[in-house]
Structure 1
């Protein structure tokens, strides 16, 4: 029997970082797996979660619950058949709606094999004061579907943010547990919390373009092609991502300037630099960087914005950061 936890949260809430911390606490005797879905086509989260002691399956490019749940069913069935994990962590895209995923996981066909435990929702309390988040159906329904709320990035909250979080929680009719955490650091013991929230969620329409019909195989670089670009659009957001071959190396300082100055909402990347690997994660003005001595197999970077951005200009500037 596989225990499953859904790790939800809107864009930039810290889902991937939280899963990384959970994986650090994995008991050696247990076999874990991760099913991760991204809005963009390139697969940044997969690169960040690879080689962390768990089997990984990616579903990039939209929402895993589209097409009557077929992409998720395929990925889920493959993981169960190949690894028979003790625990499976599922990270849907921050622009995804949880209802169809929860319905699939609790369907009769999976009941003999799966136990759905607590669903977590990562929340950046600063977003509670911004109508573009609170007015988003997926943002609201991700919170509504959770058994446990993780108020992440609490070290960045102002008193106004804390007051907004307190007011929101006081109005929660289910009185669910809320934990204020920093940098995704959460106790893995919470994964064993039973699922108690079974309230009905509305059916919200999904609007995704699926520009990559052939699945993960198209993420490779054919022939001698050194890089490629991929676009995706839906739910009021647009993404543009690039993947570069293992021979491409970037100037650390020039790349950091490009990430910092790009006029978009979200930047995430795993890039080869002379020092090894540069991991960048920018949500608005929040900018986190990490370096590792071992170079990545390839370089990947993804930009997400609420409207069309000057992708060609940004691409030209990115290419100029190559060494």
Structure 2
């Protein structure tokens, strides 16, 4: 039987970093698998997790929680039958609602094969200051569905963040476990906690994501010998724009970081090949962090998410000028 954990949390809460930490602590004798879903079409998280030592299945471009569609069930079934993992970690998109996903994993058809353990939900206390986030049904219900809530990025909180967090805990935590963490570094034993939170969640009202219409430039753009392409996706009040470059493309790392920090978007992430080595970018609300990676990715990819219209063509033109070749 495969033991299953959901690792949830709103945009920018640190889910992928937490997954990487957990995978680094995987017992040698166990087989693990990852099912990861991203709102955008490009698939950044999968690139970061591909060399983790666990079997990986990506479901890009939408919401895994919409399980009436086949991609989620097909991906899950393939992982179970082809890999027979001891543990499966599922990372839904930060814009996903957990209700249907939890219901499917608990369905009679899967009960002989899956043991649903604790759902871990990440919360960056700074998000509690953003009325748009706190009003989002997915944000609220991700926290409501959690067995364990992880106050992540605690090193970045100020006194006001901690006060808002304390008020939230008094109103909504009830008797559930709450821990704080930095950089997603949590005790792997949390995965073995049982699922005890079975409260009913409301039916989500959000709409399925769908490919966004391009403006001025086609949603799928080829340059020369198909050196790069662009893809857009929209839904639930957000738009994602991503770019994928071939493995021969190199960027100016310093200029790339400056471009990312000036991009007027709420969420940014990327894994790119630069003249200074492989670079991971992770941005939230204008705060962009850069990390050098030991492993060089096979290609370069970057994705931006925002809740308002953005001039993607202008950002794209600037990005293309940062290529060294």
Verify the 8 A CA contact 2:67 2:73 in the aligned structure 1.
Answer: no
Most deviating of 173-182 and 41-50: 173-182
Verify the 8 A CA contact 2:148 2:176 in the aligned structure 1.
Answer: yes
CA RMSD of aligned residues (A): 1.8
Question: 1:216: which partner in 2?
Answer: none
Describe the shift of the 1:293–1:113 C-alpha distance in structure 2 as closer, same or farther (beyond 3 A): closer
How many positions carry a matched residue from both structures?
A: 318
Verify the 8 A CA contact 1:269 1:300 in the aligned structure 2.
Answer: yes
Q: Which TM-score applies when normalising by structure 1?
A: 0.95
User: Is residue 250 of structure 2 the alignment partner of residue 249 of structure 1?
Assistant: yes
Q: 2:314 and 2:176 mapped to 1: Cα distance?
A: 46
**Structure 2 counterparts to residues 88-237 of structure 1, below 5 A:** 88-172=88-172, 174-211=174-211, 224-237=225-238
Question: 2:259: which partner in 1?
Answer: 258
Verify the 8 A CA contact 2:55 2:83 in the aligned structure 1.
Answer: yes
Cα distance, 1:173 vs structure 2? 5.9
Q: Which TM-score applies when normalising by structure 2?
A: 0.94
Question: 2:57: which partner in 1?
Answer: 57
**SS at structure 1 position matched to 2:199:** coil
Q: 2:246 and 2:141 mapped to 1: Cα distance?
A: 39
User: Is residue 28 of structure 2 the alignment partner of residue 28 of structure 1?
Assistant: yes
Unaligned 5+ residue runs, structure 1?
Answer: 213-218
Q: 1:98 and 1:104 mapped to 2: Cα distance?
A: 10
Cα distance, 1:276 vs structure 2? 2.3
Cα distance, 1:140 vs structure 2? 0.2
Question: 2:273: which partner in 1?
Answer: 272
Cα distance, 1:46 vs structure 2? 0.3
Verify the 8 A CA contact 1:10 1:95 in the aligned structure 2.
Answer: yes
Q: For residues 158-182 of structure 1, what are the alpha-carbon distances to aligned partners after superposition, in whole Å with 9 as ceiling and x for unaligned?
A: 1111111112112236321100111
User: Is residue 84 of structure 2 the alignment partner of residue 80 of structure 1?
Assistant: no
Q: 1:84 and 1:29 mapped to 2: Cα distance?
A: 13
Cα distance, 1:206 vs structure 2? 2.7
